[in-house]
Amino acid sequence: MNTEQLFENIKRKGSYLCVGLDTDIRKIPRYLLDATDPVFAFNKEIVDATADVAVAYKPNLAFYEMLGVQGWSSLEKTVNYIRYNHPDIFIIADAKRGDIGNTASMYARAFFDHLDFDAVTVAPYMGEDSVKPFLTYLDRWIVLLALTSNKGAFDFQFMEDKATGEKLFEKVLKTSSQWGTTENMMYVVGATKAEELAGIRQIIPNHFLLVPGVGAQGGSLSEVSKYGMNEQCGLLVNSSRAIIYASDGEDFAEKARENALKVAAEMKEILKLNKLI
Amino acid sequence: MNTEQLFENIKRKGSYLCVGLDTDIRKIPRYLLDATDPVFAFNKEIVDATADVAVAYKPNLAFYEMLGVQGWSSLEKTVNYIRYNHPDIFIIADAKRGDIGNTASMYARAFFDHLDFDAVTVAPYMGEDSVKPFLTYLDRWIVLLALTSNKGAFDFQFMEDKATGEKLFEKVLKTSSQWGTTENMMYVVGATKAEELAGIRQIIPNHFLLVPGVGAQGGSLSEVSKYGMNEQCGLLVNSSRAIIYASDGEDFAEKARENALKVAAEMKEILKLNKLI
């Protein structure tokens, strides 16, 4: 999927919602545990209930790897299910990988060839050759960690460069934006720091940003959109727990849809306000 | 495994060799492709041929994830095989994970509960809460990326802190060494920069270091050992391709053993020179 197609989907649905499929087998409704593949059964219902109001899904790999072979199988089934039944959806592997060139190529194959993800999240610590191998796939993306929304973000990401005064996350944005284009790179920018988005938009005005942390982690959608939105929307705002765990009963998918609709309705207003729809 | 046990194994074997199981299905001897699980068949032979001269094995996850469910199954079988047949071996998941607390806990479960790894490599970019959940397991370790051996290491790891003049990798060492102890944290330090090891040893004199890049990547074992060795050895030096791909014929395991023996013989001399054996 390219930027134009993604923006078309956002306009058509009036939504830039990404639903995080952080499916924890210990948190899904208990009756699903009787299914052959409880995690896939849960994801399937969540996806079918929300696919018309979400533009992206983002399984976090940790939740699948925790279950070993079975988890990896649930992940494959989930990606394939979304791809075939909801082909307009952008699918992000939240894997936060990052390794040297040769190995990065393997990860690219894992996520783009073997699995059919549109994008994979990547950590910047190891630099250019850990990122480049992902950028050789047409219409596939990396989403590079820049500024994360957790407390630990303050340990290193705000360190200031002696030479330029830039913070590490700013240097990551500036340096890495030269490695690819706005057609194969997005960035993770934490929502609990909405005011930073203005500065980030000065460095990378045109890239799409994946904003985690709206919902359970407490970010404000209107703040994030105010500082982060650009002419092609430029935002995918993620919500995981607030949507997928809206209920732990048999109505979990219905309640997930209700919560997704609430977020999407707010997004529609913001898109209108910004004259994008 | 704790430091004392690891050091005991190093002394007994006269070796601090870690064999990287970067098993690429496209590079293993072709006749193995007839096996039910070619990757596991390859690993099993490599392990049996080298377990008396190696103290650690390090499968790189990318090579297994590239094969999806089948790859994850090969990985599980490999870890279990090593654990049961060579219980004195330290097994490292080269996964370079790093995610927020909740998710980091999932990865810890994946590698320490579901799989029976002794250690997992972790990236530092997201800070303390992405590391801490791994440190709650007794006798399990994280190996944190500090200074990597690839070209991209220069993109961010050498950035100097405006406030202290420290380079980013030095700040990572200093800050993170407060999060755990020498009994649950090791560091990845790239071998192509042996001279940096002296400075690193001033910051973390007692931690074990995992040094990649000796062998195919061209680091010098004697240089690395000169600057990096401490009173409990303090080094695990990794070699992957030079050992596991020593031959692509039916003698691959035999040739792997020959190359492992060469490295181990050199290590034995260095351990003697340093009066550790």
A154/B contact by beta carbon, under 8 A: yes
Q: What is the mean pLDDT of residues A18-23?
A: 97
Q: pLDDT tier at A83 (50, 70, 90 boundaries)?
A: very high
**CB spacing of A157 vs B127 below 8 angstroms:** yes
CA distances from B114 to A31, A67, B245 (A): 23, 7, 29
| Residue showing tokens 């090969």 | B74
How many beta-carbon pairs below 8 A join chains A and B? Answer: 186
Find out whether A264 and A17 touch, Cβ atoms under 8 Å: yes
Side chain identity at B39, as an amino acid letter?
V
The residues with which B264 forms a beta bridge, in sequence order, are none
User: Cα dihedral sign for A110, A21, A154, A145?
Assistant: positive
Per-residue pLDDT reduced to its tens digit, A216-264: 445 589 989 999 999 999 999 999 999 999 999 999 999 999 999 999 9
B-facing residues of A in 34-63 (CB < 8 A) are 60, 62-63
Query: Which of B212, B249, B244, B259 shows the shortest CA–CA distance to B21?
Result: B244
Q: Show Cβ contacts of residue B12 under 8 Å, excluding neighbours closer than 6 positions.
A: none
Alpha helices (H) in chain B, listed in sequence order: 3-13, 38-50, 61-65, 68-85, 101-108, 153-156, 168-176, 196-203, 221-228, 241-244, 252-273
Q: What is the DSSP string of A76-108?
A: HHHHHHHHHH-TT-EEEEEEEE---HHHHHHHH
Is residue B131 within 8 A of residue B144, CB to CB? The reply is yes
CA distances to A186, A191, A196, A228, A268 from A223, in Å: 20, 9, 11, 8, 15
**Overall number of domains in chain B:** 1
Helix, coil or strand: residue B29: coil
B106 touches chain A (CB under 8 A): yes
Residues B165 and B186: their CA atoms lie apart, in Å, by 24
Cβ within 8 Å, pair A159-B159: yes
* ipTM for this model: 0.95
H-helix segments, chain A: 3-13, 38-50, 61-65, 68-85, 101-108, 153-156, 168-176, 196-203, 221-228, 241-244, 252-273
Could you tell me what percent of chain A has a pLDDT over 90? 92
Helices A221-228 and A196-203 cross at an angle (nearest 10°) of: 30
Q: What number of other Cβ atoms are within 10 A of residue A202's Cβ?
A: 10
- Identify the closest residue of chain A to B60 by CA–CA distance: A103
**Chain A residues in contact with B124 (beta carbon < 8 A):** 125, 155-156
Contacts of A78 (CB under 8 A, 6+ apart): A21, A39, A40, A43, A44, A47, A59
Q: Please say whether the beta carbons of B230 and B3 come within 8 A.
A: no
Give tens-digit pLDDT for A97-152. 999 988 999 999 999 999 999 999 999 999 999 999 999 999 999 999 999 989 99
**Per-residue confidence in pLDDT tens, chain B, 277 aa:** 999 999 999 999 999 999 999 999 999 999 999 999 999 999 999 999 999 999 999 999 999 999 999 999 999 999 999 999 999 999 999 999 999 988 999 999 999 999 999 999 999 999 999 999 999 999 999 999 999 989 999 999 999 999 999 999 999 999 999 999 999 999 999 866 677 899 999 999 999 999 986 754 455 899 899 999 999 999 999 999 999 999 999 999 999 999 999 999 999 999 999 999 9
**B121 token code pair:** 């490599």
The structure tokens 């790999």 sit at: A61
Between CA B5 and CA B91 the distance in angstroms is 13
- Is B173's Cβ below 8 Å from some Cβ in A? no
Distance to chain B for A269, nearest Cα, Å: 31
Nearest chain B Cα distance for residue A73, angstroms: 6
Please, which residues have CB within 8 angstroms of residue A200's CB and are 6 or more apart in sequence?
A146, A147, A170, A173, A187, A189, A209, A228
pLDDT band at A52 (very low <50, low <70, confident <90, very high): very high
Which of the 8 DSSP states describes residue A22?
Answer: -
Q: Is A104 on the interface with B (CB under 8 A)?
A: yes
Cβ contacts of residue A275 below 8 Å, gap of 6+? Answer: none
Q: Which domain holds residue B86?
A: 3-273
Nearest CA among A117, A122, A171, A126 for reference residue A144: A122
Q: Does residue B215 belong to the interface with chain A, where contact is any CB pair within 8 Å?
A: no
**Contact status, residue B261 vs residue B53, Cβ threshold 8 Å:** yes
- Chain A residue at shortest CA distance from B162: A162
pLDDT tens, position by position, A166-189:
999 999 999 999 999 999 999 999
Contacting residues of B for A94, CB less than 8 Å apart: 99
Q: pLDDT band for A215, please (50, 70, 90 cuts).
A: low
Cβ-based contacts of B153 with chain A (< 8 Å): 126-127
Contact B236, B228 (CB under 8 A): no
Indicate yes or no: CB of A100 within 8 angstroms of CB of B73: no
- B127 close contact with A: CB closer than 8 A: yes
- CA within 13 Å, CB half, A59: 35
Band (pLDDT 50/70/90 cuts) for residue A190 is: confident
Would you name the residues of B annotated as active-site residues?
96
- The answer to whether A97 contacts B62, with C-beta atoms less than 8 Å apart, is yes
Residue A28, classified by CB atoms within 10 Å of its CB into exposed (0-12), middle (13-18) or buried (19+), is: buried
Looking up residue A41, the CATH number of its domain turns out to be: 3.20.20.70
Nearest to B99 among A62, A66, A175 (CB): A62
